[in-house]
Amino acid sequence: MGFLRFLIIGFVALTAFYFLLKVYLRSVTRERLEEEWAEEGSIGDRDAYVEKGITEYEHSFRPKLLLLVYILPLIAFLVIFYVTNFV
């Protein structure tokens, strides 16, 4: 029963961390795109430039790396569990 409670609390904590990290990285990307637009001295619409960049970012490999938030702690837990119980 304690193990199940640990998994549920861990999953909730990792999910909260995942969403906070996702929002933060998206914000950093938006700021970078706004600075690029300002440095280039573009005449076009800033919002359209930023939205296009955000769309490209969402389809890139970097957001998929955020799934490591779930995978790495699970692997670490399984290794520790195996070593403490079976070695």
10-44 tens-digit pLDDT: 999 999 999 999 999 999 999 999 999 999 877 78
57-70 tens-digit pLDDT: 999 998 899 999 99
Query: How many helical (H) and strand (E) elements, i.e. helices and strands, does the chain have?
Result: 4, 0
Residues 57 and 63: beta-carbon distance below 8 Å = yes
Tally of domains within the chain: 1
For the record, the structure tokens of 49 come out as: 């430039």
For the record, the structure tokens of 55 come out as: 């769309």
Per-residue confidence at 72, pLDDT binned at 50, 70, 90?
Answer: very high
What residues make up the domain containing 61? 2-86
Q: What's the whole-model pTM score? A: 0.81
